[in-house]
Amino acid sequence: MTLRVAPTNHRADRLLLGFSDLRRLRSERPLVFERGRGIFIIDERGKDYIEAVSSFYCATLGFSDEELAEAASRQLRTLPMYPSAIHRTTTPVLELAEKLAAIAPIPNARVHFSTTGSEVNDHLIKFMWYGNHFADEPLRRKIVSRLGSYHGSTIATAALGGGSDLHASFALPMQESILVSHPAWPKAAEPGEDEAAFTDRLALELARAIEAAGPETVGGMIAEPVSVSCGMFPPPEGYFPKVKAVLDRYGIRLFVDEVVTGFGRSGHMWASEAMGLEPDTVSCAKGISGAYMPLAALIMGEEFAGRLERGSDTKGWFAHGGTHQGHTVSAAVGLKVLEIFERRDILGHVQRLIPYWNRMLDRMMAHPLVTGSRRFGLMGALEVALPGGGEKGMAASLAVGGLSKAVYEAGLEHGIIVRPLAGCIVMAPPLIITEAEIDELARRLEAALDQVLADSGKVAEAV
């Protein structure tokens, strides 16, 4: 590790960090980053890390794109902000809405801007309630989601999916949530069940859940094309068509959450396109601005937007808005992202890179700790387990949070950031990564895996 600059003395215990151990935060300084360079992020000591998860799957164009910085600063000097509401908007917001509608995986789309993935999904629920109220379906307030998926941190979005920690103690899920199984194929298959039987069972579970809730009370189902939070299981063949058939039978809408999968992650602009989904709405955030500025958008089909129009016609206005819903600087960055995608052929780059990425994942399978892999576009999940099974021989420090957490911690030492989930680590590097950088990522990851393996061996010997 190169120590180039002394860390600052700013206290960290004044800060309340999400998804963190708050007690640890009071006594131990968190990792503090200062700069970014391409796919690398550099901490206050000058140590670099490959951000193999694009931080929160969002730094799709890396951490130092001059064009994005320039677009933001130009907009800051031209018109730094002006709310888009009250029959007023600004040129970048108008232009971005038009461009997004043109590339949306929904015909004749309408676009509503917000700031984060959580906010856009929260608005989605709010809009669904509003629209259904004015479409004489006021009872259709419930929304189906898949257990373990992640759709945001607001009250309503945390209630959709989520692990038990996201629900317990937060008085969630709310009464409008209906939670069904995630299509974790083949892990969640029952003995002897093939893909067709598995997807039939899940479709039946969905239908039963809707029947139990009362079909007239269910408005929509929200789903990611591939959920990273659930361990990145690409859905088995037939899953979405069967889900869609059930939803159509009951007049329930499909809301696709492309907060992670949108903007090139699949090698297509939208995973909906790649997978042939027919969503009523698409939620996007993160990659829409490369996460350089908070920006999110709800892209709506005609029917969904038409219900909002009807409400507005009835009341004389659409009683919803917000200061930063359509921020000038965010929109300017969003426009630059679209321009960069086209000019630098980001989708072509990702498509060319995917086979190389997959070969790297295949190579990782040779490591004694890696027991399986999954992939979708420029994403990958590696299952990890100790040879011989179980994590019994692990040192206490290794066992906290399981093996994947140990790989994450070792990764930090070796200059790579991966995402630990139950039994696997997930990676989704910036889309601008090169073949040479994938090699370097693999080298650092292998070093981390080797270290965990060696540590577990030492413990086994000592027992």
CA–CA gap between residue 193 and residue 231 (Å, rounded): 20
- Hey, which residues between 87 and 116 contact ligand PLP (CB under 6 A)? 116
Does position 150 interact with ligand PLP (CB under 6 A)? The reply is yes
User: For ligand PLP, which is the closer residue by CB, 153 or 199?
Assistant: 153
Q: Please classify residue 318 by burial: count the beta carbons closer than 10 Å to its beta carbon, then call 0-12 exposed, 13-18 middle and 19+ buried.
A: middle
Sheet with strand 253-257: strands edge to edge: 110-114, 296-300, 281-284, 253-257, 218-223, 142-146, 177-180
| Cβ proximity to ligand PLP, 121 vs 330, nearer residue | 121
How many residues of this chain interact with ligand PLP, rule: CB under 6 A? 14
68 vs 442, which CB is nearer to ligand PLP?
A: 68
The span from the CA of 55 to the CA of 447, in Å, is 20
Decide if residue 260 touches ligand PLP (CB under 6 A): yes
Binding mask 42-81 for ligand PLP (x = CB under 6 A): --------------x-------------------------
Q: Which stretch binds ligand PLP (CB under 6 A): 148-156, 193-201, 431-439, 443-451?
A: 148-156
Rounded Cα distance between 297 and 97, Å, is: 9
CA dist 444 and 277 (Å) reads 37
Binds ligand PLP by CB under 6 A, chosen from 111, 128, 209, 285:
285
Tokens of 13: 């215990």
- How many CB atoms sit inside 10 A of residue 34's CB? 13
Our finding on whether 257 is near ligand PLP (CB under 6 A) is yes
CA count, 13 A, side-chain hemisphere, 396: 0
Residue with smaller CB distance to ligand PLP, 207 or 228: 228
Which residues, 392 to 451, sit near ligand PLP by CB under 6 A? none
Q: Which stretch binds ligand PLP (CB under 6 A): 100-108, 117-125, 373-381, 392-400?
A: 117-125
- Residue in 118, 145, 199, 325 binding ligand PLP, rule: CB under 6 A: 118
Is residue 182 part of the contact set for ligand PLP (CB under 6 A)? no
Which one of 123, 141, 142, 151 is in contact with ligand PLP (CB under 6 A)? 151
Q: Give yes or no for a cis peptide into 294 (omega within 30° of 0).
A: no
How far is the C-alpha of 49 from the C-alpha of 415, rounded, in Å? 4
Peptide bond into 186 cis (omega under 30): yes
Which residue's CB comes closest to ligand PLP? 117
Q: Is 101 exposed, middle or buried (0-12, 13-18, 19+ CB in 10 A)?
A: middle
* Site residues for ligand PLP per CB under 6 A: 56, 116-118, 121, 150-153, 224, 257, 259-260, 285
